[in-house]
Structure 1
Amino acid sequence: MTTPSAAPDSYYQRVGEHRYKPTAHAGGAWSTDEQHVSPLAGLVVHEIDRYLAASEQPAKGLALTRISYDILGRIALEECEITVETIRPGRTIELLEAVVHIGGRSVVRARAWLLATLDTSAVADTPQERIAPPEEFTPWQMGDVWDGGYISSIDIRRGAPASPGRGTVWLSSRVDLVSGEPSSPLASYIGLVDTANGIAVQRSPKEWMFPNMDLTIHLHRRPEGRWAGLDTTVSFGPTGHGLTSTVLHDSVGPVGHALQTLTVRPLTEG
């Protein structure tokens, strides 16, 4: 087992060409000896960015418009290796797959669709309304609800409290994704999105578990700036299943949507 570094400046440190060591900042909310999916999701995009930059035929003019993460099991707070390959090459549409390995086991499998970019500004529009800017929201100590190094590393501003299962927040991070390496704004933004499942709880996480099995992000434009806005709704069904649905924002307005499938069960189950 690899002991996580306590480096104050990043979620990960590079230890090999495609290997990364998590710091204490990557600690999970459900269990502090696991990685939170948020920074790991950003790390996957960081590795995809590196893969595209090193490609003999780089995907010029293509933009990531959807990425889906399937969580295959426990994500230990240990060194991980990320492999990336092209599943469907193309000049206007391309599909990539990234797999996160820990201890010789695949723990996350992600697929990313890249689409050609062209000027559609004349018809750009969305019926989704903008949320108020971060400066109009109130600082929130999310650590009062959740544990873990990741939760402690982010700046959170929350809108007026709503009913259980509804919440709107702005998030930004105080640390880098990878120590000593610049990350794209997209990787940094996606590194915040999985937080959505914890901002609008239906029931106390001290009484119920509702971890997400996946994370799917759809984008209709590239996020800008350091803040990620999450306008989130959480629904629990009657048979142990749930769904977290989020409209994603940046300082300009809505940028897309995120969905997370939940497994819902009482902590006292036995």
Structure 2
Amino acid sequence: MVGTPRSEPFFTPDGDQLVPARHADSPWSPDMVHGRLFGGLLARALEREHSDPELHFSRLTVDLFRNTRLVPVQVQTRRVRDGRRIRVADATVYAGDEPVARASAVLLRRGEQPSGTAPATSAWDAPTPGELGAPRADPSSWVPPFDVWLLDEDGKPTEGWQASGPRRAWVRDRCDLVAGEPMSPLVRVALAGDFASPLVNFGAHGVLEFINADYTLTLSRLPRGEVIGVEATGQLSADGIAAGSCTFHDDEGPIGFSTLTAVANPAATKH
């Protein structure tokens, strides 16, 4: 596959702070940091301060509970538990003195793969971006700094997030998260985790009916390559609260799952 054309990174280090670029903004507001970037920053800090070659980041839960303007942020982490086979660590993003997002990670020790035959999730049959051609041209006024290939139930490109059948997409970031740092596989999948929300929560009229408050990635392995596939597998809602789930893939097969909770989006009632 042709390499991703690189744009300016989302953040530039300044001491212990990270200064957002203009294109770190959100589709909700031009002066608001996109929430998915907090997931990337949290994963980056946890990986830098708590990783171990013998341990695998098997779970990452990201809570998105406060918006912030395009102002410098910093991330603080702490080790919660260190055991023989498990490590648990937390991280929090601060804008000034205010916490705006947090994460909890579980790292498990790698070992010998069992020889049993537990039922496994099958690889999907979606064509790869190399087979699909150019990514989707976003029709909105907000130009996303990532590539998206949306697929219909027959695996053909579609322009809308609101497909009535199975919803599937490939996503690829075009920018590094932090200047001077190649994006790691963990950071890449943490950024992609937020895509589960639009994939499961867009309504038939093209409006995002629920806005996610969190997402949890559970990963059997990290992605290989720049492109991550997201396949919607379930959505339920009642009383303005939704729960959703997706399976995550790379070119070689499924790698894990993303689950989320979301609250009704008042803007959706206008349509």
Q: How does 1:250-261 map to 2 (within 5 A)?
A: 250-261=250-261
Letter in 1 for 2:22: A
Residue 127 of structure 1: aligned partner: 121
CA contact under 8 A between 1:202 and 1:235: conserved in structure 2?
Answer: no
Letter in 2 for 1:262: A
CA contact under 8 A between 1:202 and 1:236: conserved in structure 2?
Answer: no
How big is the shift at 1:74? 1.5
CA contact under 8 A between 2:33 and 2:69: conserved in structure 1?
Answer: yes
CA contact under 8 A between 1:236 and 1:264: conserved in structure 2?
Answer: no
Q: How does 1:105-124 map to 2 (within 5 A)?
A: 105-120=98-113, 122-123=115-116
Residue 64 of structure 1: aligned partner: 57
CA contact under 8 A between 1:202 and 1:234: conserved in structure 2?
Answer: no
User: What is the percent sequence identity of the aligned residues?
Assistant: 26
Q: How does 1:170-181 map to 2 (within 5 A)?
A: 170-181=170-181
Q: Structure 1 77/223 Cα, relative in aligned 2: closer, same or farther at 3 Å? A: same
Q: Which deviates more from structure 2 when the two are superposed, residues 133-142 or residues 42-51?
A: 133-142
Residue 4 of structure 1: aligned partner: none
Letter in 2 for 1:137: L
Residue 155 of structure 2: aligned partner: none
2:252 and 2:269 mapped to 1: Cα distance?
44
Residue 231 of structure 2: aligned partner: 231
How big is the shift at 1:10? 0.7
Q: Which stretches of structure 1, 4 residues or longer, exceed 6 Å deviation after superposition?
A: none
Task: Give structure 2 stretches of 5+ with no counterpart.
Answer: 1-5, 153-157
Task: Give structure 1 stretches of 5+ with no counterpart.
Answer: 1-6, 54-58
Per-residue displacement from partner, 1:99-147 (whole Å, max 9, x unpaired)? 01112111111100000001317558723332422223364536325x5
Q: Which deviates more from structure 2 when the two are superposed, residues 253-262 or residues 74-83?
A: 74-83
Q: Does residue 1:141 correspond to 2:128, yes or no?
A: no
Q: Which deviates more from structure 2 when the two are superposed, residues 239-248 or residues 189-198?
A: 189-198
Per-residue displacement from partner, 1:210-253 (whole Å, max 9, x unpaired)? 21000110001221111110002463524111123110001110
1:165 and 1:25 mapped to 2: Cα distance?
32
- For these two proteins, the number of residue pairs brought into alignment is 254
Q: How does 1:177-192 map to 2 (within 5 A)?
A: 177-192=177-192
- TM-score, length-scaled by structure 2: 0.83
1:31 and 1:164 mapped to 2: Cα distance?
28
Q: Does residue 1:82 correspond to 2:81, yes or no?
A: no
- TM-score, length-scaled by structure 1: 0.83
Per-residue displacement from partner, 1:22-80 (whole Å, max 9, x unpaired)? 11222112223222222221121111122136xxxxx4411100010112221332211
Q: How does 1:84-99 map to 2 (within 5 A)?
A: 84-99=77-92
